[in-house]
Copies of this chain bind each other. A is one copy, B any other.
Amino acid sequence: MLQLLVISIAIAAIALSSGAFNALWTASGFALIGYVVTDSLIPKLAPFFTAKGLFGKDMSKVGKPVIPETIGAITATSYLFLMFFFIPFAFYKYLVVATVGGGERGAGEVPSLGSDDQLALFPHDKLAGFLSAMLCLESILLLGLADDFFDLRWRHKFFLPAIAAIPLLVVYYVDFGVTHVLIPSWLQHHFKDQTTIELGWLYYVYMGSVAIFCPNSINILAGVNGLETGQAVVITVLLLLNDLCYFVFGSQQTWESHIFSASLLIPFLGVSLTLFKYNWYPARVFVGDTYCYFAGMVFAVVGIQGHFSKTLLLFFIPQIFNFIYSVPQLFNLVPCPRHRLPRFNEKDGLMYPSHAVFEKQLNPMVEKAMVVLSKLKLLEIVQREGRVVESSNFTLINLALVWFGPLREDSLCAVLLLLQFTIGLVALLARHTIGPWLYGYDNLFFSA
């Protein structure tokens, strides 16, 4: 009953949308449909995943219950097919013009756009870009599934997103080819007073790195009920707030790429919220690497195609911190246990920072650094006979527990999500206040 109501509202939003931002209304309609559809699919299909061996044990619950795994595949597939149906709506005005023009168009003909049509700001000439984004997302879904199914090794799976990004980069190469970046005004005198610098193929390396970073960084900050989906939802909301800044304060020239971004993000928010509901404490489903990769790639795609990949990275500060903070263990400066998830105490039902135990004496320099970190409240250490014998594991999740713990799993997740949102909001404000000062102007007001 409620579902019917939501679907009706969605259809109304799609049907009645018009004007400059019609793509956004349509996208909102699709988000509602996506929410309802995945909400009905997940409980129906999840048991089949368990039956076929796709399940995991929830280590932070009494009795370690078996939970269906890789359910993000349902979300991702729903999203993709939703976006296929979105195409005619996104390119609606183009269609109307083409039809009025009368029948078949020949090679190279471009329908002339009247002033009314220019109001429809979705980039009509960017159909290829949209399709390449979908190809990239479908590829990461496929590779994510391969990862979840075959349990790939870290050194293999780390580069999967780069492979999935190939269609995106190739079509970027064929279709856009913009490979220059702005130079901050206070640096321009080092570059013969140029305002931009041409990076050429290095720009493709940069985009490839963004495509590798976003999916992996979400996949690494994981292991607590609701955290994978929660952080994706928070980042989506932050990116939408950034788009909103452009719609409210920006000039009309800046709208196009942000309508593109919002059109992809709004339906993604819809399907992700459903998954969040099922993945929230106590989790009824696990999302799998598939979802983490997919979500990260959605962000990489909108950042790259919308030309705001540097702003994008501002919303990944907790993930970047988590990665840098992990380096001592990842590179074995400090011994790294096989699992670094926080420790669940069955007696009080709370989560505690998990510890790495050092059998051998650590390098004195490393020990000294750890003592400093501990004084800065960035680490919990146990000293015995003048040497460090234990420390909390080097992850943001454990650090949150060092600061605020012990916490129940849902509070831990909430703390981490709040942290993500707060930092992101501050970064967003900084982006539009300090950014313009650094670069000489903000593209909120001037199109780059």
- Whether A66 sits at the interface, judged by CB under 8 Å, is no
The reply to whether B177 and A98 contact each other, CB–CB distance below 8 Å, is yes
**Are A127's CB and B128's CB within 8 A?**
yes
Q: Contact at A163–B81, with CB atoms within 8 Å?
A: yes
User: At the interface, yes or no: A327 with Cβ under 8 Å from chain B?
Assistant: no
**Given A132-B131, A171-B87, A174-B95, does the pair A77, B142 have CB atoms closer than 8 Å?**
yes
* A293 CA / B81 CA spacing, docked (Å): 18
* Copies of this chain held together in the complex: 2
Interface membership of chain A positions 69-107, coded 1 if the CB is closer than 8 angstroms to chain B and 0 otherwise: 000000001001100110110010011001100011101
A-side interface residues, number (CB < 8 Å): 50
In the complex, the chain B residue whose C-beta lies closest to that of A54 is B149
Residue of B nearest to A118 (CB): B107
Task: Tell me if A61 counts as interface (CB < 8 A to partner B).
Answer: no
Q: Is the interface of A mostly helix, strand, loop or mixed?
A: helix
A106 to B, closest residue via Cβ: B125
User: A84: which B residues are within 8 A, CB to CB?
Assistant: 135, 166-167, 170
Q: Mark A97-122, 1 if CB is under 8 A from B, else 0.
A: 01100011101101001000000000
CB distance from A41 to the nearest CB of B (A): 12
Task: Give chain A interface residues in 174-194, CB to chain B under 8 Å.
Answer: 174-178
- Some 23 contacts from A to B, beta carbons below 8 A apart, are A53-B53, A80-B139, A81-B139, A81-B166, A84-B167, A87-B171, A99-B177, A105-B177, A107-B123, A107-B125, A107-B256, A110-B110, A127-B171, A127-B175, A131-B135, A131-B171, A134-B167, A135-B135, A138-B138, A138-B139, A138-B142, A141-B142, A145-B145
